Chains A and B, each alone.
Chain A
Amino acid sequence: MGTIHLFRKPQRSFFGKLLQEFRLVAADRRSWKILLFGAINLTCTGFLLMWCNSTNSIALTAYTYLTIFDLFSLVTCLISYWVMMRKPSPAYSFGFERLEVLAVFASTVLAQLGALFILKESAERFLEQPEIHTGRLLVGTFVALSFNLFTMLSIRNKPFAYVSEAASTSWLQEHVADLSRSLCGIIPGLSSIFLPRMNPFVLIDLAGAFALCITYMLIEINNYFAVDTASAIAIALMTFGTMYPMSVYSGKVLLQTTPPHVIGQLDKLIREVSTLDGVLEVRNEHFWTLGFGSLAGSVHVRIRRDANEQMVLAHVTNRLYTLVSTLTVQIFKDDWIRPALLSGPVAANVLNFSDHHHIIPMPPLKGTDESNPVTSTPAKHSSPPPEFSFNTPGKNVSPVILLNTQTRPYGLGLNHGHTPYSSMLNQGHGVPGIGATQGFRTGFTNIPSRYGTNNRIGQPRP
C-alpha cells in the first residue's frame, strides 16, 4: 500500500530494492504460506469477478470486494513479517512498526471506499433494475465464503487479530452478541459458542453469504431483482460497520493520540510523579502509541530550583517506564541562572533560598537528604552490584528502545485495554540483563507498593 512509487528516475533501483526486501521476507517459511494463499486469492478473485460480470449481480460484486480485502490483509501480514526483520533506520528513527498500522488503516479504508462505490452503483441500479442471472450466483457465493473462511482461520494474521480485538465492537457484532445472549438465555448450552466476542471478519463473511442466499432464493422463486440491489446495500453497510471501528482505531494510532484505555493509568502515574519531591508541575505531556501496543511519550517536568535534577529524572523515568517504553523527560527550572550566579554551579542544591514565591515551603532540613550526591538509595552500597550498568553512558546507544520485536505482545488474549501494556512490560524494557528482576515489575502489582516506598524515601512528612 502506498509504497508503490512510479517515478522515472529511481524506478529501477526502487524495484530492485523492493525485490530485495521481498526476497528477505520470502526467506521465511511462514511467508510461503501467505504467498500461496495470495496466489489462490488472486485466481479466486479473478473467477469471482468473471462470475459477477456474467450474473450481473451487484451483491456478488460487493461480496467479491471482501475477497479483495482478504488479499489486502494477506499483504498486511507480509508487511508485519517484514517489519519484524527491519531495524530502525536513521530516517525512520522509530522503526517500521507503524507501517503495519498504516497497512491496516489503508486496507480497511479501501474496503470502505469499495463499499461506498457499491452504494453509488446500487443507487443507480434502483432507477433501472437490470436482470440478474442466478446461474453462478450460488456457486460464487460458496466459493468466496469457503475461501474467505479458510483464509481467516488458517492464517494467523497478527495485525488484524490485534486490531479486531482492540477496536470497539462494530454494530454487526453488537447485534449478534445481543441476539446470541438472548439465545443463550433459552439454550444455556450454547453459551460457550456464542458468548465470546465474534470475529468480525467471520461474521461479515457469514452474513454476506446469508444475504446472497436470500437473494438467490427470492430471484429464483419470484424474480424480485430488486432484492439483489437491496442485499448489495446491506453487504456494503455491513462492510462499513465492520471496517469503521478498525480504521478508527488504527487511524487514532496514526494520529499520535493517547489511547483512551491507558489514560487512567497514565493519570495515576503522572499524579505520582507530581508528588515526587522537588517536582512542581508536569506539563506538555505527549503520550502516543508507536505501533500496536507500545507506548511512546515525552514530558516536561518543572522542578524546584534546589532539587537534584538527575535524581528527579531518574525517579520520573522509573515511574513512567512501567507504561511508556520510549520515553523522554525534560527537566527544567525557572530562574536557573540566578542561584548559579550566587552559589556556583555545583552547590545549586545545598539549601533552598526560602523566599521564592512559587516554591512550596518544605522543611528546611530535607536538603540534607537530597544532597546525598551519589544516589537516592543509600543502601545501594551494601546491595549486590547492579545487574546492569550505565556507567558508560555514551556507548549505551539505545538501552530503552525495544527492538525485540519477535516477542511483541500481539495475541496474548488482549481483551481489555490495559493488558497489552502489562504484557509488554514483561519484556518491554529491552534492557539486557534485567531479566532476573523482571518478575515483579509488572506495572500493576508493584505500583502501590512502590508508591509507598517513594513516600518514605522522597517525602518524609511529619
Chain B
Amino acid sequence: MEEKYGGDVLAGPGGGGGGGLGPVDVPSARLTKYIVLLCFTKLLKAVGLFESYDLLKVVHIVQFIFILKLGTAFFMVLFQKPFSSGKTITKHQWIKIFKHAVAGCIISLLWFFGLTLCGPLRTLLLFEHSDIVVISLLSVLFTSSGGGPAKTRGAAFFIIAVICLLLFDNDDLMAKMAEHPEGHHDSALTHMLYTAIGFLGVADHKSKVESWFSLIMPFTTVIFFVMILDFYVDSMCSVKMEVSKCARYGSFPIFISALLFGNFWTHPITDQLRAMNKAAHQESTEHVLSGGVVVSAVFFILSANILSSPSKRGQKGTLIGYSPEGTPLYNFMGDAFQHSSQSIPRFIKESLKQILEENDSRQIFYFLCLNLLFTFVELFYGVLTNSLGLISDGFHMLFDCSALVMGLFAALMSRWKATRIFSYGYGRIEILSGFINGLFLMVIAFFVFMESVARLIDPPELDTHMLTPVSVGGLIVNLIGICAFSHGHNHSHGASQGSCHSSDHSHSHHAHGHSDHGHGHSHGSIGGGMNANMRGVFLHVLADTLGSIGVIVSTVLIEQFGWFIADPLCSLFIAVLIFLSVVPLIKDACQVLLLRLPPEYEKELHTALEKIQKIEGLISYRDPHFWRHSASVVAGTIHIQVTSDVLEQRIVQQVTGILKDAGVNNLTIQVEKEAYFQHMSGLSTGFHDVLAMTKQMESMKYYKDGTYIM
C-alpha cells in the first residue's frame, strides 16, 4: 500500500495536468474506483464505531483506548517502518511528536467518551467532519471573508443541525421506557453533562470483562476499520482527488450509513456484521433514531456538501486595468488589507475616547450604560427568581436601548470628516437618526395604543405586586436621563455655540444679532435647544419615563380602588402623549430632509434677496436654493445675472457678504453675463459643427506659421 501511495503522488498531477490554468478536473471515470473505495471505507468505519460502542459497554474507556492505540501502533509500525527508513528524528521533532501525541490522546479520549454518552450515531454526526469543512465553517463564523453566500448558508445549516441535535432530538423518549444504567436523562445535553460530572468524580464504573480472549476479534475489526483502513484510504484519495471532493464524497456515505446502522444495528439482520453477539436485544431502545436526528443528519450532509465545495475567491478581485495584451487585470489584495485593521481592544479604546470627547455622545453613552446596567440587573434577578414579568420587562428595556445605541452612533458619526461621498460632512446623519427615532416612537405609541384598546374591550386581571419596584427603578433611571439631557442642553450652548442653529437661543449669539424672530419654532419648549438626534433620544427617555409613571399610577389605582380599567386608560393616555410629542420632531426632520428653506431663516433670506437685487450692475437672479444641511451647515446656491461691464468677483464678494450675514455658510454663486449665454449657445450648437469648425481652425493655424499663432 505504501508503494502505491508513493507512486500515485507522482502520477497524480501528471495525469491531470492539461493545458491552461485554473482547477483541473480529472475525468470522473478514473476517479470512480477511488470514490467507491472511499465510500466503502467510510461504511466500514461506521461499522467499526458501532462496534466500539458495543465494546465500550464491557471495557473501560481508558483500557479501550490503550488497546486501540497499541494495536494501531503495532500495525502502523509494521507498514510504515518509521525507525528503519527515512531521516533520523531530531530532538526538536521529538518534542513536537510528544505534544502531538498528548493532544491526540486527549482528543480520542473525548471522542470515545462522547461515544459512550450519546451513542455511535450522534457521535458520527458530530465528529466525522473533514478538516476542510471545519476550516471553512470557522472562516465563515469568525472572519469577514467567508466566501460568498453559499458558505454562509452552509454554516447556517451546520448550526441548525447542531441545534436540532441539541434541542429537538429527544433521545429520552424510548430511553425512559428502557432501564438505562444511569437512570434516564432528559436530552442529549443533560445526558452529557450528567455523565461528565460522574466521570470527573469517579471514573470507575464498569470493568466487567469476563474473558479478554473473546474480545480479540472485535478489537481487531475496530482497529482496522476505524484507524488503519480509514487513514490509508483517506490519504490516498486526497492525493488522487481534490481535498474538497474527497471530503464531499466521504461525508455522504458515513452519515447515511450511520443513519442506517442507527436504525438496524440491533436488528437481527445485522447480527452477522457484529463481532460481539453478546448484546441482548433489550438494548435496542437506547440511542435510537428520532425525528430530530434525521433532520440534523440531513442538515449535516447539506452543510458538509456546501462547506467542502471549493470557494470561488476570484469574485472579490477588483479590476485595476488591462494588460498590454488586453486581458483584464484584477487585484486580489482586498482581503490582506482588511485583515491589517487594528486589534479589537484598541478599537474599543479609540471609540470610547471618541465618545467621551463630545458632550452629546458622552451623555448618551453614560445613560446607555446606566440603562443596560438596570436591564441586566433586572434580567438577572428575573432569571434568579424565575419571574417572567421581570424578564420580559428586561427585554423591553433592551428594545428601548436600541434607540439609544442608534443615537450614540449618530452622534459619533456626525463628527467624522467629510469624504468624497459625504461631501458636506456627516452632520446630516443626526437629522436622519432623529427622524428614525421619531418613527420608532410612533411605532411604540401605535403598539401601546392598540394594546390598550384591546385591554379596554377586555380588561385582564393584573398581578400588580411585582410591578411597583421595577417601575420605580425604571422611573429613577429615566429621571436621571432626563436631568442629564436637559442639563446638557444648556451646556452645549456654552461649549459649542453656533453649532445649534435650530434653537432660538443660539441666534442671540450670532454675529448678525437679530433676536427678534419669534416664528418658525413650533416644537416644544423642552427639546428646543438640541439637534434632532438629541431631541429624538430625549423624547425616547421621556416616553419611557411616562411609561413608568403610568405603571405606577395605574398600580396605585388598582391596588387602592380596584379599578382595573385604569391600566388601559393610562396606557392610552401615554400613547397619545408620546405621539403628540413626536410629531414636531418628525415634522422638523422632514422639512430638513426635504431641503426646505430653513423656517428660522426665512425672513432674513427674503431681506437678503431683496438687498441682492439692489446691487449695482445686477440684472436679476434665478434658482435661489437655500437649505439646511445639518445642524451647523446651511447651504445655498444662486445664479446671478449681471451686466457685462461689472467685475464678477466683486459681485461674488458682495452677494457672499449679504448671504453670509443671513446665515448661509456654504455658498455657491454663479455669476452670468450675456457672454456666458452666447458661449453656451455656441457650445451646444452640436458636435458636428464644432468638429468642422475646429478642423478649419487648425488648418488655419498650421497654414499661417508653425507657432500656433492665429
A423 at the interface (CB under 8 A from B): no
Q: Are A258 and B423 also in contact (CB < 8 A) when A171-B149, A328-B639, A391-B677 are?
A: yes
Indicate whether A286 sits within 8 Å of B424 (C-beta atoms), given known contacts A98-B594, A336-B647, A449-B687. Answer: yes
Interface check B652, CB cutoff 8 A: yes
Contact between chains at B668 and A99 (CB < 8 Å): no
The distance in angstroms between the C-alpha atoms of A322 and B686, with both chains bound, is 13
Residues of chain B within 8 A (CB-CB) of A254 are: 428, 432, 593
| Cβ of B282 to closest chain A Cβ, rounded Å | 28
Instruction: List residues of A (209-230) whose CB comes within 8 Å of B's CBs.
Output: 222, 224
Q: Mark B649-683, 1 if CB is under 8 A from A, else 0.
A: 10010000000000000011111111111111111
- Given A377-B693, A390-B680, does the pair A113, B710 have CB atoms closer than 8 Å? no
Measured between beta carbons, the chain A residues less than 8 angstroms from B436 are 109
In-complex Cβ contact of A298 among B392, B429, B668 (8 A)? B668
Q: Taking the nearest CB of chain A, how far is it from the CB of B613, in angstroms? A: 11
B696–A379 CB distance below 8 A? yes
- By a CB distance below 8 angstroms, the chain B residues around A99 are 594
Contact with B along A328-370 (1 / 0, CB 8 A): 1111110010001000011010000000000000010100110
- In the complex, A255→B707 CA distance in Å? 52
> Do B622 and A397 have beta carbons less than 8 Å apart?
yes
Q: Given A286-B423, A287-B423, A288-B423, A330–B682 Cβ distance below 8 Å?
A: no
Contacts A120-B396, A393-B620; A329 near B424 (Cβ below 8 A):
no
Residue B203 CB within 8 A of the other chain: no
CB neighbours of A313 from chain B (8 A): 670-672, 676, 679
Of A98, A375, A400, A453, the contact of B694 (CB 8 Å cutoff): A453
Main secondary structure of the interface of B (DSSP, over half): helix
Q: Is A15 an interface residue (CB 8 A)?
A: no
In the complex, chain A residues whose CB is within 8 Å of the CB of B646: 345
Stretch binding the partner chain, chosen from A146-154, A157-165, A194-202, A380-388: A380-388
Knowing A5-B583, A260-B421, the reply to whether A128 touches B149 (Cβ < 8 A) is: no
Output the least CB separation between A310 and chain B (Å): 4
Is the pair B692, A127 in contact by a Cβ cutoff of 8 Å?
Answer: no
Asked whether A138 is an interface residue with its Cβ less than 8 Å from the other chain, the reply is no
Whether B680 and A318, one on each chain, are in contact in the complex, defined by CB atoms closer than 8 angstroms, is yes
Residues of A within 8 A of B690 (CB): 377, 450, 453, 457
A222 to B625 CA separation, bound complex (whole angstroms): 65
Complex CA–CA separation, A394 to B678 (angstroms): 14
B667 neighbours in A (Cβ, 8 Å): 330
The answer to whether residues A102 and B580 also contact, given A377-B685, A383-B685, A390-B677 and a CB cut-off of 8 A, is no
B668 pairs with A256, CB closer than 8 A: no
Contact B680 A457 (CB under 8 A): no
Which residues from B are CB-within-8-Å of A285? 423
Bound together, the chains give a CA A449 to CA B620 distance in angstroms of 36
Q: Which residues in chain A, 430-454, are within 8 Å of chain B measured between CB atoms?
A: 434, 437, 440-441, 446, 449-450, 453
- Inter-chain contact A127/B388, CB cutoff 8 Å: yes
Interface string of A1-45 (1 = CB under 8 A from B): 011111100000000000000000000000000000000000000
Known: A106-B439, A333-B649. A380 touches B682 (CB 8 A): yes
Nearest CB in chain A: distance from B648 CB, A: 5
- CB of A365 within 8 A of CB of B670, answer no
Segment 303-339 of A: residues with Cβ below 8 Å from B: 308-311, 313-315, 317-318, 326, 328-333, 336
Asked whether any CB of chain B lies closer than 8 Å to the CB of A376, the reply is: yes
Verify if A139 is at the interface (C-beta below 8 Å from B). Answer: no
Q: Could you say which of B402, B697, B709 contacts A378, with CB atoms under 8 Å apart?
A: B697
B443 at the interface (CB under 8 A from A): yes
Q: Does A183 contact B (CB under 8 A)?
A: no
CB-CB under 8 A from A332, the residues of chain B are 649, 652
Asked whether B432 lies within 8 Å of A255 as measured between CB atoms, the reply is yes
Q: Which residue of B lies closest to A258 (CB)?
A: B421
Which residues of A, 73-125, contact B by the 8 Å Cβ criterion?
Answer: 90-94, 96, 98-99, 102, 106, 109-110, 113-114, 116-117, 120, 123-124
Q: A residues within 8 A CB of B602?
A: 91
Residue A416, interface by CB 8 Å: no
**Does A375 lie within 8 Å of B423, measured CB to CB?**
no
Residues of B with C-beta under 8 A to A417: none
Q: B-facing mask of A376-416, CB < 8 A → 1, else 0?
A: 11111001001111110111111011000000000000000
CA distance A287 to B297 in the complex (A): 55
> Is there an interface contact between B697 and A390, defined as CB atoms closer than 8 Å?
no
B138-153 CB contacts (< 8 Å) to partner A: 148-150, 152-153
- CB–CB A450/B687 < 8 A: yes
Q: Which residues of A contact B428 (CB under 8 A)?
A: 254-256
A315–B646 alpha-carbon span in the complex (Å): 21
Question: Inside 8 A of A7's CB, which chain B residues have their CB?
Answer: 522, 583
Are A460 and B708 in contact, with the CB atoms below 8 A? yes
Cα A398 to Cα B621 in complex, Å, equals 10
Contacts of B698 in A (CB 8 A): 456
A254 to B630, CA, bound (A): 12
- B 591-605 contacts with A by CB, 8 A: 593-597, 602
Q: How many residue pairs bridge A and B at CB < 8 Å?
A: 273
Interface of A is mostly: mixed
Inter-chain CA distance A133–B370, complex, in Å, is: 41
Asked whether A281 is an interface residue with its Cβ less than 8 Å from the other chain, the reply is no
Q: Is B301 an interface residue (CB 8 A)?
A: no
Q: Is the CB of B682 within 8 A of A375?
A: yes
With the chains together, A332 CA to B653 CA distance in Å? Answer: 10
- Cβ B677 vs Cβ A373 within 8 A: no
- Give A382 Cβ to nearest chain B Cβ, in Å: 8
Residues A113 and B597 in contact, CB atoms below 8 Å apart: no
Chain A residues whose C-beta falls within 8 Å of the C-beta of B420 in the assembled complex:
258, 263
Contact A116 B697 (CB under 8 A): no
Report if A131 contacts B (CB, 8 A): no
Q: What's the nearest-Cβ distance from chain A to residue B645, in Å?
A: 7
A340 and B647 form a contact (CB under 8 A): yes
Q: How far is the CB of B142 from chain A (nearest CB, A)?
A: 18
Q: In the bound complex, do residue A330 and residue B624 qualify as a contact, i.e. CB atoms below 8 Å apart?
A: no
Measured CA separation A224–B423 after assembly (Å): 53
Candidates B447, B670, B686, B692; contact of A329 at CB < 8 Å: B670
Contact of A373 among B291, B675, B707 (CB under 8 A): B675
Measured CB to CB, the closest approach of chain B to A64, in angstroms, equals 12
Whether A187 sits at the interface, judged by CB under 8 Å, is no
B83 within 8 A of A: no
A379 touches B692 (CB 8 A): yes
By beta carbon, the residue of chain B nearest A123 is: B395
CA distance A177 to B149 in the complex (A): 9
Report the minimal beta-carbon distance from B389 to chain A, rounded to whole angstroms.
10
Evaluate whether A109 and B439 lie within 8 angstroms (CB atoms) in the complex, with A6-B580, A313-B670, A453-B691 already known. Answer: yes
**Residue in B622, B683, B696 whose CB lies within 8 Å of A376:** B683
Residue B330 at the A interface, CB < 8 A?
Answer: no
A90 to B624, CA, bound (A): 9
- Asked if B187 lies at the interface with its beta carbon under 8 angstroms from chain A, I say no
5 A-B residue pairs with Cβ-Cβ distance under 8 Å, sorted by A, are: A308-B675, A331-B648, A379-B692, A386-B685, A437-B686
> A450-B690, A457-B697 given. 4 additional CB < 8 A pairs?
A98-B595, A110-B443, A368-B710, A453-B694
Q: Which residues of A contact B (CB under 8 A)?
A: 2-7, 90-94, 96, 98-99, 102, 106, 109-110, 113-114, 116-117, 120, 123-124, 127-128, 171, 174-175, 177-178, 182, 222, 224, 251-252, 254-258, 260, 263, 284-288, 298-300, 308-311, 313-315, 317-318, 326, 328-333, 336, 340, 345-346, 348, 363, 365, 368-369, 373-380, 383, 386-391, 393-398, 400-401, 434, 437, 440-441, 446, 449-450, 453, 456-457, 460, 462
| Top 10 A-B pairs, shortest CB-CB distance | A390-B677, A314-B679, A379-B693, A394-B620, A298-B668, A386-B681, A328-B637, A377-B682, A336-B649, A310-B675
Interface of B toward A, CB cutoff 8 Å = 148-150, 152-153, 168, 291, 388, 391-392, 395-396, 398-399, 402, 420-424, 428-429, 432, 435-436, 438-440, 443, 447, 522, 579-580, 583, 586-587, 589-590, 593-597, 602, 619-620, 622-627, 629, 635, 637-639, 641, 645-649, 652, 667-687, 689-694, 696-698, 701, 707-710
